[in-house]
Chains A and B, each alone.
Chain A
C-alpha cells in the first residue's frame, strides 16, 4: 500500500464529488465523508455538499482513489477521477493507508475544509483515536442510563419499530424453518440433527453447505439488527432492505470475527473441561468429600473464567458493525469497553451490568415463549387428533415468532448497553451537543 517517491507522485489522482445519486440518504453520505475526513464536523461537510462539485483531494494514489471511489459510490456519491500533476515536493500520503471503511485513507487536508480548518491551525488537534463516530440526530435524546432504563428503552424501541426489527430477525428464522420443513418432507432429513454417516455423501455435503449458508444468513441478520437498532436509537430512519444492504460490505468481517470468537470460546471451554477433569480426577482419588468439594470449586472457577471471556467479547458484533473494526482488534476493543470503569459500585461495572441485562432479558424471553406456546397448547387440547400435523406446524411457526421477538429484545438491550458504555466513556452525546454550541 505504501507509495513514495517521484514515480508514485506522478500518478496522483484528483477526486471530485460531482453529484449525489437519487434516493441517497444525505446523512449516510455525510457520515461516510466524516469517516474519510475525521477532523471535519458534520455541518462543515453538509455545507460543502451544498456547493457541489467538491474537490476532495488532488493527491490520491491510484489504489487510494479506487478505494475512496468504491466506498463513496456505495454511499450514493457520484465521483470524478482525474490525473493530477503534483510536484514531488508535496507531502507524501499517509503510508499506513487502510481501507476506506477503516476511515484511514484520508487524503491530505481536503480542499473544502481547508478554510474552516485554518482557524484551528493555531491549536494542534489532539490525536484522538478515530472511531466511527455515532451520528446523533439533533432532536434525539441520548444519555447514560441504568439497567432498568436500558430495558425500558429497548422495549419502547421494539414497540415503536416492531415490524422493522421483527422482520430483520424473522428472515433467517423463516428461511431456516422453511428449509427444515422442505428437507424433512422431501428427504426425511432433520437439519438440526446435523450430518450423519448414514446419509449419502452428496446429502452430507449438502447439509454441511446448508448449515454454513444458514450461519451466514444468521450473522447477516444479526449485523442488520445491530445497524437498524443503532440507526433508530440515534434518531435516523432505516428499513429492512437498507439494514441488510448496509451489512453487505461488513458481512465477511463480521462472520470471520464471530467465527474466531466462537473458536476461541470453544477452545477455552474444552481446555477448562479438560483441566477440570484432571483436577477432579486427582482429588477424587484422594477421597470422596474432597473430590466433591474439588469438583464444585473447579466447576465454579471454570465457569467464572468462561463467563469472564464471554462477557469481555459480548460487544464484538457491535464493534464490527458500528466501528468498522474486525478480527482480534474487535475482540480487544470489546474487552476494552467492558473493562472501562464508568460508574462506581459493584453492580454498575459493565460486566455485572451486562450479566444482569442478559438475565432479565432471558426472563422476559421466557415470558414471550410461554405466551406463544399458549395457543399451540390450547389447539392441541381442543382440536381433534386428526389435525395433529396442523397444530404442530402452528406451534412451530409461533415458536419461530417467539424466538425472533425474544432475540430482538435481548439484542436491542445489548446494543443500547454498548452505546451506554460509549456515552459514559466517550461522551459522544456531549460532543454532538457541543458541535451545536
Chain B
C-alpha cells in the first residue's frame, strides 16, 4: 500500500527516538529551482558590478593606478566570482546555515547527517563536490536514477557524505479561534459529557473541517457539515430535530472539547 510519507528513524545513545520525514524528488527539485533563481540573481549582480567597475572605477582613481590595470582583469575577477558563486553557493550556504540554502529554507528542507546530527563543512563539501557527478549532462540524470533506487531518496553526494534531506516539522499555524465561536449557545442536555467521549481522531476530523471549510465548495461544505452533525447526533443519541445550524453545532463541539481538554 502506498504510504503518505517516508521517514528516517534515528535513535540517540540515550535511546531517545526521532522520526524525520524524508524529502522527496518534488520538494528537492522545487528547492533546486528556487536556488537556481537566487544563483542567477547573484551572477547577474556580479556581472553588473564588474561592468560598472570596469567602466567607472578608473575615473575615480586620482593616482591613476587603476587606469593602468587592463579591463580584462576586471572580467577575470568577475569570472572568478562567478565560479565561487556557482561552486560555492550550495557548499557555503549548507555549511553555514545548518544544512539549508535559500531554496531549501523556502521549501522547509534541511540536510542532516544520517545519524540526525547537523552537517558541517566536510559533509557539505563532499555532497556538493559530488553534485558535479549527479548533475552530469545537466538535469541530474544520475542523481535521479540513484534517488529512485534509494530508500532514503539519497543521491550520490548524499551517500558519500552520509547525509539525507529532511522536511522540517511544520508548526501548525494556530487556528483563528474567533472563527470557531458560534453566536448561538448550544443548549443540549449532557453535551459536555458527550463531548468528553470524543476521541482525538474524531475531534481532528471536525477541526480539520472547520479549518478547511472556507476553501470548500458551498454545496460540499453544507453536505459535510450535515454529515458530521448527523453522525455525532446519532452517536450521542441526540434528537436530530435540534434547531441549530450544523456548522455552529460543530463549532460549539470543538469549543467545548478544547475547553475541557485545557481544563484537564
Contacts and interface: CB of A to CB of B under 8 A. Distances in A.
B245 to A, nearest CB: 13
Which one of A149, A153, A154, A424 has the greatest number of beta carbons of chain B within 10 Å? A149
Nearest to B24: A152
A141 B4 contact: yes
Contacts of B219: 126, 128-129
A226 to B, nearest CB: 16
A232 B1 CA distance: 7
A148 B212 contact: no
Nearest to A141: B4
Given A155-B24, A157-B2, A360-B30, A434 B205 contact: yes
Contacts of A137: 1
B232 to A, nearest CB: 7
A427 B139 contact: no
A155 B25 contact: yes
Interface stretch (B9-17, B48-56, B177-185, B233-241): B233-241
A379 interface: no
Interface in B1-29: 1-4, 6, 23-27, 29
A258 to B, nearest CB: 26
B140 interface: yes
Interface residues of A, number: 55
B222 A437 contact: no
A430 B206 CA distance: 8
B239 to A, nearest CB: 9
Interface in A121-146: 122-123, 126, 128-129, 137, 139-144
Interface stretch (A11-19, A53-61, A275-283, A361-369): A361-369
Given A126-B226, A367-B141, A152 B240 contact: no
A84 to B, nearest CB: 33
A160 B24 CA distance: 13
Contacts of B80: none
A139 B26 CA distance: 24
Contacts of A150: 26
B224 A430 contact: yes
Contact of B215 (A142, A161, A425, A431): A425
A123 B217 CA distance: 21
A233 interface: yes
B2 A364 contact: no
Nearest to B142: A371
Interface string A90-113: 000000000000000000000000
A343 B216 CA distance: 10
Most A CB contacts (10 A, CB to CB) among B25, B27, B216 go to B25
B137 A374 contact: yes
Contact of B24 (A140, A156, A161): A156
Contacts of A157: 2
A425 B216 contact: yes
Contacts of B205: 430, 433-434, 437
Interface in A285-303: none
A370 interface: yes
B228 interface: yes
Given A139-B1, A153-B4, A363-B139, 13 more contacts: A126-B219, A126-B222, A148-B24, A148-B30, A151-B26, A154-B26, A157-B2, A160-B2, A367-B139, A368-B144, A374-B137, A424-B216, A430-B224
Interface of B: 1-4, 6, 23-27, 29-31, 33, 107, 137-145, 148, 202, 205, 208-209, 212-213, 215-217, 219-224, 226-228, 230-232, 234-235, 240-241
